[in-house]
Structure 1
Amino acid sequence: MAQKKRKHGGWQDRLVDYVIRALIWSALRLPVKRRLRAVGWLVRRVIGPAVKWDDRVRANLDHVWPGLPEARIREITNQVLDNVGRAFIENYDVPEMLARGARYQVSGPGLAAVEQARRDGTPVLFVSGHYGSAECARCAMVARGYQIGGLIRPMSNPFFNEHYTKNMHDICEPVFEQGRRGTMGLIKHIKSGGMAVLLFDIYDSSGVPIDFLGQPAPTVTSIADIALKTGALVVPFFGVRHPDRYGFDAIFEEPIPHGDPVEMMQEATRRLEARINADPGQWMWIHRRWKPERQARNQRKRAAAKISP
């Protein structure tokens, strides 16, 4: 018998949110660098293993880079979980993130195009993945007077989602929640000459299979579609953490030329791949990016549908 799917919004979600709020409250009592180290350690040593995130990192690494030495797997896993913890707690101190963003370097071959777009009122879509800290890079630009919105995926726990999304709004408006209404709001914002951040490295069953680190991964083309519809620049950008895991650089790469939407997303994927290959510990390997079993199952279903009378 299939297990009944739990509805969200009940007492279990409320309890989890109480625990998360207590963790956030306690962490925010610490000086910022000690706070980041503490939450990074907690996720690396306690939370990550408890919810099997370390197993998921290992499975993803084995899927794309089979044969990695065990020591290298452990090193990457520790870096990934540490980064997850730091990125989480950073979002709950927006003034500190904005102040840090104002101090650290903003650079890259695409920065001049972004500055020109701002002067001309040309819309810009900043595309990135869950690498380093996209929010830190966004804060670096907001601290310099840019208005950069975004599209976020709501959390399944509605109590946690309430304060999580509030932080995204506090960094800079407008922020839209994923869905038809949010997407239409985003398009309207871009059409008016706005700028927004979009992350594309999440599994989406409706996406086009694009090779990512050597394995096909369903990838949405909506970013390219919106850019073509609105005339927006598509600029890959990354918040790359320093070795001390506190400082970072906001790096803006050359804009992706307009063209075929799939080819545009292939190029965006290549840019992210290059960053991951250079420093894999900064990418969030806990996501189920490939889901090879589901891809194979969906492919069999499509093949069966084609031959059925």
Structure 2
Amino acid sequence: MLTTLFISLLNAFSRLSWRNLYRLSDGLSWLLFNLVKYRQQVIWQNLRLSFPDKNDQQLRPIARAFHRHFTDLIVETLKLRQASVQDVQERLVGDISVINDLYARGKSAVFVLGHRGNWELANLFASATFKHECIVVYKPLSNQRFEEWFRQMRTRFGGTMVPMREIYGELLKPRTRPYLLFLVNDQSPNPRSAYWTRFLHQDTGVYRGVEAIARKYDLPVVYADLRRDEERRGYYWLDITPITEEPAVLPVNGVLEKQIRILENDIVKQPGNWLWSHKRWKHRRPARLQPEQILEARYDRE
């Protein structure tokens, strides 16, 4: 009963205008971060450790920018349930020639993102715009009604959602056109299987799925950043950077190291546009790491 009511509310909110949704976001931001103090300790710990050269007064504008960004993500995602192709393509703009060139050469690729901008918008933009088949790796929700609601939203323009545990079988299926495999890899992985590096001044574990899949299927890797348009609320710039076309040529974890350095630089340039409420550093680096968890020596720059 409660789930049905909540889904009805989500559908009702999705029919609001963009202007009214951002008014809702402003109110929600005040409620979550000024009244409820949602994950305040996590946010501030992440910011202080990531920017040790800044004091709290300097960090406060970043925190405020994140607060609005976080609730904007919520209302924008609701709107994507109803948004048209034209609306999606107007709100995410960028040079996609790298992707078009891969398609022209018949190449599939791994398309990796961080939690910057609105990745749900990127998903719909990709399936509406790219000629590739778009396959999005995700973690299913435990509530089946919510899972179905989000699946319908995410596949509106033809994208395919595949749980991570099923991705290797999915990639073995015959296809009539090249595919792009979408992975978001700046979450907090199992420390015993993660690649470990320094990221934002902290020991950080990174999911190895991007690296493992690219090597196994010899796939080019591209990284995409979703940069918030500071002048127009709800609009983003898509910046696509090729990582490699030959993952096997790079040292072990070389793909991840290149990608994480670009992500770090993007966060420093626009820090409010990242998911600071996430418990990104909840795991400690193990005392002993396996060879597959470190950067292969021949890639070391020291």
Shift of 1:252: 1.0
Change (3 A) 1:256 1:95: farther
Which segment is superposed worse, 64-73 or 121-130? Answer: 64-73
Change (3 A) 1:22 1:101: closer
Residue 46 of structure 2: aligned partner = 60
Q: In structure 1, which of residues 247, 250, 261 is the aligned counterpart of residue 235 of structure 2? A: 247
Q: Is the 8 A contact 1:41 1:82 kept in 2?
A: yes
Q: Deviations over 1:263-300 (max 9, x none)?
A: 11011101111110000000111111111xx416x549
The one-letter amino acid of 1:27's match is F
Aligned length: 281
Shift of 1:29: 4.0
* Aligned-partner SS, 2:213: helix
* Aligned-partner SS, 2:284: helix
Residue 228 of structure 1: aligned partner = 215
Residue 8 of structure 1: aligned partner = none
Change (3 A) 1:79 1:188: farther
Residue 219 of structure 1: aligned partner = 206
* Aligned-partner SS, 2:216: helix
Q: What is the RMSD computed on CA atoms of the aligned residues?
A: 2.9
Structure 2 matches for 1:1-309, cutoff 5 A?
A: 15=2, 17=3, 20-21=6-7, 23-38=9-24, 40-48=25-33, 50=36, 52-66=38-52, 68-92=54-78, 93-96=80-83, 98-104=85-91, 106-108=93-95, 111-146=96-131, 147-179=133-165, 181-186=166-171, 188=173, 193-205=178-190, 206-243=193-230, 244-257=232-245, 258=247, 259-291=250-282, 294-295=283-284, 298-299=286-287
Change (3 A) 1:33 1:208: same
TM-score by length of 2: 0.81
CA distance in 2 between counterparts of 1:164 and 1:107 reads 26
CA distance in 1 between counterparts of 2:201 and 2:14 reads 40
Unaligned runs of 5+ in 1: 1-13, 303-309
Q: Is the 8 A contact 1:99 1:143 kept in 2?
A: no
* Aligned-partner SS, 1:170: coil
| Superposed structure 1 runs of 4+ greater than 6 Å apart | 189-192
Q: Is the 8 A contact 1:132 1:283 kept in 2?
A: yes
Shift of 1:166: 2.7
Which segment is superposed worse, 91-100 or 211-220? Answer: 91-100
* Aligned-partner SS, 1:253: strand
* Aligned-partner SS, 2:122: helix
CA distance in 2 between counterparts of 1:215 and 1:190 reads 41
Q: Is the 8 A contact 1:101 1:141 kept in 2?
A: no
Unaligned runs of 5+ in 2: 291-302
TM-score by length of 1: 0.79
Q: Is the 8 A contact 1:64 1:214 kept in 2?
A: yes
* Aligned-partner SS, 1:282: coil
Change (3 A) 1:284 1:43: farther
